[in-house]
Every structure is written in C-alpha cells, then in structure tokens.
C-alpha cells in the first residue's frame, strides 16, 4: 500500500497569510478549500493511494484556537474528501514531542498502523517543517512554494505551485 501524507493549511485549504507567514483558518466558516484539491484527492484515491493528513495545530496549545474548532474542520474534510485519517499534533515547539513536524513521529506511527513502506510514499507540504518530516521519515517530498517570508526547505524532490500539480507528479504525469 502507498500513501500520500498531506499537510493541511496551505495544501488542502488556504492558509491565512499575515506579514508573509501562514496561519490556519480560525473557524469552519473561514475555511477555504484551495482550487483543484478535490480533483487531486479524488485522482490520488482512485489510483490507490491512502490519503493521510499530518498537521501541526499549535494554536490549541497556545490558547488561540479551541480544539473543537480544529475537530470541526477535520470532520468537514473527512466527510467531503477521500481522506483516510487526520493526525494532528496540538503541541508547541517547547513541548519537544515526537509528533510535531519537523519530527517524523506522526508519519512513522501511521506507517506502522497501515504497514506502509515509506520509500513508496510522498509527503506534500508548504513549509520546511513538512518537507523535513517527510525526508526524516524516508518519503519522497513535494514542496508547494508560496514564497512565505520564513525559512525554506533546504532540499525536496519536487517544487510545485499546488496540490493538483503535485498529484500529477505523483501519478506520473510529470517528472520535472
């Protein structure tokens, strides 16, 4: 079995960009699904890929967002897209947990659960933390580059502008 691990904000839904940095939507009402996401997820699912969202949601630990808001967004995504699981890390950097990207703990635990060979899997993300976690786990990585004003990944297998473009690479439509 193969899987595509997906970050949430900036990959499936639009991130709220403030001063060049991405932030999550504050509620289901402010959630905006990015163009082409439904088609990309449907195509990957039809091709036999397990779709797993791996997301850092530190605003819960910081007291900025209620966990119920994150749960509501995830319930919406699970009901509307062929996503098998959403694995959330609610910790902040200071917690030093293994599930917070750029560590690979969340990816590795899901790989064990589904008996995945991570070298056959992809990690798609829009931040260096996503790409570093994918590399650490042994996945191929695809960086969606929005040119945020923050640290950028030092390496990645592919750089694209959208999840739809990433899905075409994964499905063999492009080897650039």
Enzyme catalytic residues: 7, 9
CA atoms within 13 A on the CB side of 57: 26
Alpha-carbon distance 94 to 90, whole Å? 12
Q: Which residues of 74-110 are buried (b: 16+ CB within 10 A; e: fewer)?
A: beebeeebebeebbbbbbeeeeeeebbbbbbbbbbeb
The number of angstroms, rounded, from the C-alpha of 65 to the middle of its chain's C-alpha atoms is 19
Give the other-Cβ count within 10 Å of 122's Cβ: 23
């Amino acid at each position: 079995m193969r899987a595509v691990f997906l970050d949430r904000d900036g990959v499936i839904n639009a991130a709220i960009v403030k001063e060049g940095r991405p932030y999550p939507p504050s509620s289901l009402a402010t959630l905006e699904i990015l163009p082409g996401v439904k088609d990309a997820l449907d195509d990957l699912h039809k091709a036999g890929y397990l779709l797993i969202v791996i997301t850092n949601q530190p605003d819960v630990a910081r007291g900025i967002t209620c966990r119920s808001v994150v749960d509501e967004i995830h319930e919406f995504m699970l009901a509307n897209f062929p996503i098998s699981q959403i694995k959330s890390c609610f910790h902040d950097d200071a917690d030093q947990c293994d599930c917070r990207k750029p560590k690979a703990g969340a990816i590795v635990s899901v790989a064990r659960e589904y008996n995945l060979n991570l070298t056959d899997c992809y990690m798609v993300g829009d931040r260096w933390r996503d790409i570093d976690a994918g590399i650490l786990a042994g996945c191929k990585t695809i960086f969606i580059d929005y040119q945020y004003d923050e640290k950028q990944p030092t390496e990645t297998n592919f750089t694209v502008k959208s999840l739809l473009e990433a899905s075409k690479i994964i499905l063999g439509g492009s080897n650039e």
